[in-house]
Amino acid sequence: MKQSRLFYKTLKQDPKDEEAVNAKLLVRAGFIDKVAAGIYSYLPLGQRVLVKIENIIREEMDAIGGQEMLLPVLHPKEFWVQTGRWDSMPVLFKLKGANNKEFTLGPTHEEIITPLAKKIIFSYKDLPKYVYQIQTKFRNEARSKSGLLRGREFVMKDLYSFHKDEQGLDKYYERVARAYEKILARLSLGDISVRTFASGGSFSQYSHEYQTLCDAGEDEIYLCKQCNIAVNQELIKEQNVCPQCNNNQLEKKRAIEVGNIFKLKTKFSNACQLTYKAGDGHGKPVFMGCYGFGPSRVMGTLVEIFHDEKGIIWPAAVAPYKYHLLNLSKNDKVKLTADEIYRELSKKEEVLYNDRQDISPGEKLAEADLIGLPYRLVVSDKTHGQLEFKKRNENKTQLRNLKELF
């Protein structure tokens, strides 16, 4: 992609209306634009990152048998009345349609998926089933000052599983846990993320959150360093030792909840009368699990963790492009060399090429650090047909030939 054509604008100063580091850097670097508190547009650079995060999640969901689908955003009121959450969930964005019919924008989808499953699951032969979607959710969050960490409109991956019995649910729950660990490792967050015990409300003893350690996080967790698991702040009141090794020396840490796994058991199947005919001919309630993960929150989390005073430092797996090619010369011959390198390299790799003639070499270098691609390649009057190669997270530079990049 030639930067002269890219739909973007970088800012030299932090935007005044942002408090969070992730939002300041992502706005400054031209990845997102703020529309209102908790509502952002994703520009082409930001959309590429988001899609890469989503694709990592998608691959790991497919690997555990998840089937991707897409449920509606607009939910008729009666679906939410049936489960009692029309009145009990304060974050619903409620609205009226034609003939004063009431709706909510979907903050989560148990209310839609359970009645749908009722049309598909009748007998034990129809179980188990696993379906997921990656979709924009809406929540009227009271406080929305953390950039992408807490949106009023945000992207969620939500997986739902349906089982004959609790054992089937328990087994799949652990498979999802393993998949989440793979996702976090691929996002470069594996070493700083911990499975965290959270109170599961009235219908199950525990749920688990995947918490990424980060001072900007809103959550407080209590970490057992021996087991690398944690207990959430709400739960610590009932459980103040490590649930695995009984160690009472837990360390208080701030963290960001990037995902969670939840045994719904029969809560929603009871509310929606989702039953199946067992082998003995009796009707039994279906056991359900739900599993959330936040691609847009992950994007904010990555920026909170991987940045320095100059800008973002994207992990290679989610960077919008792998190489940032800069032409720092005003010389026409050098420009032709840079154009040729761009043509060759972009046949095999994702390259962002700063071909703009209207900004100075100093500005191009500063902008490259701000945007934060993994590898910078400079062509200048001093490189003589070669490239100056530099990793974003290192200071040393090397002269290389194009062939040496592969």
Contact call for residues 326 and 376 (beta carbons, < 8 A): yes
Any idea which residue has 């062939």 for tokens?
Answer: 403
The interface region with ligand ATP, picked from 53-61, 256-264, 303-311, 383-391 by CB under 6 A, is 256-264
Tell whether residue 193 is a contact of ligand ATP (CB under 6 A): no
Which ranges constitute the DSSP H helices of 119-156? none
Position among 150, 195, 263, 392 found at the interface with ligand ATP (CB under 6 A): 150
Q: Applying CB under 6 A, does 259 fall inside the site for ligand ATP? A: yes
Q: Please name the residue that has the structure tokens 């979607």.
A: 133
> Interface with ligand ATP includes 110 (CB under 6 A)?
no
| Binding positions for ligand ATP, 15-34, rule CB under 6 A | none
Number of CB atoms found within 10 A of residue 335's CB: 15
Among the listed residues 297, 324, 376, 392, the single contact to ligand ATP using CB under 6 A: 297
Query: Do the Cβ atoms of 53 and 298 come closer than 8 Å?
Result: yes
265 binds ligand ATP (CB under 6 A): no
Q: Judged by CB, which is closer to ligand ATP: 66, or 151?
A: 151
Are the C-beta atoms of residues 272 and 118 closer than 8 Å to each other? Answer: yes
294 makes contact with ligand ATP (CB under 6 A):
yes
DSSP assignment letter at 310: T
Residue nearest to ligand ATP (CB): 294
- Taking CB under 6 A as the rule, does residue 163 contact ligand ATP? no
The CA distance from 181 to 239, in Å, is 24
67-80 b/e (C-beta count within 10 Å ≥ 16 → b)? eeeebebebebebb
Instruction: Tell whether residue 108 is a contact of ligand ATP (CB under 6 A).
Output: yes
How many residues of this chain bind ligand ATP (CB under 6 A)? 16
Q: How far is CA 9 from CA 195, 363, 364, in A?
A: 38, 13, 13
Alpha-carbon distance of 179 to 351, in angstroms, equals 30
154 lies in the binding site for ligand ATP (CB under 6 A):
yes
Candidate segments 59-67, 128-136, 231-239, 257-265, binder of ligand ATP by CB under 6 A: 257-265
Contact status: 54 vs ligand ATP (CB under 6 A): no
Q: φ and ψ at 101, to 5 degrees?
A: -70, 135
What is the smallest separation between the CB atom of 108 and ligand ATP, expressed in angstroms?
Answer: 6
Question: Applying CB under 6 A, does 141 fall inside the site for ligand ATP?
Answer: yes
Smallest distance, ligand ATP to C-beta of residue 291, A: 8
Ranges of beta strands (E only) in 25-147 are 32-36, 39-42, 67-68, 74-76, 93-96, 102-105, 129-138
Stretch that binds ligand ATP, among 49-57, 148-156, 357-365, 375-383 (CB under 6 A): 148-156
- The verdict on 289 binding ligand ATP (CB under 6 A) reads no
CB atoms inside a 10 Å sphere around CB 95: 12
Strand partners, 137: 154
The piece of 1-9, 165-173, 290-298, 354-362 that touches ligand ATP (CB under 6 A) is 290-298
Interface residue with ligand ATP, options 133, 161, 269, 296 (CB under 6 A): 296
Strands (E), 174-300: 193-199, 206-213, 219-224, 229-232, 251-265, 275-277, 283-285, 287-293
- Decide if residue 288 touches ligand ATP (CB under 6 A): no
List residues binding ligand ATP (CB under 6 A): 108, 139, 141, 150-151, 154, 156, 257-260, 292-294, 296-297
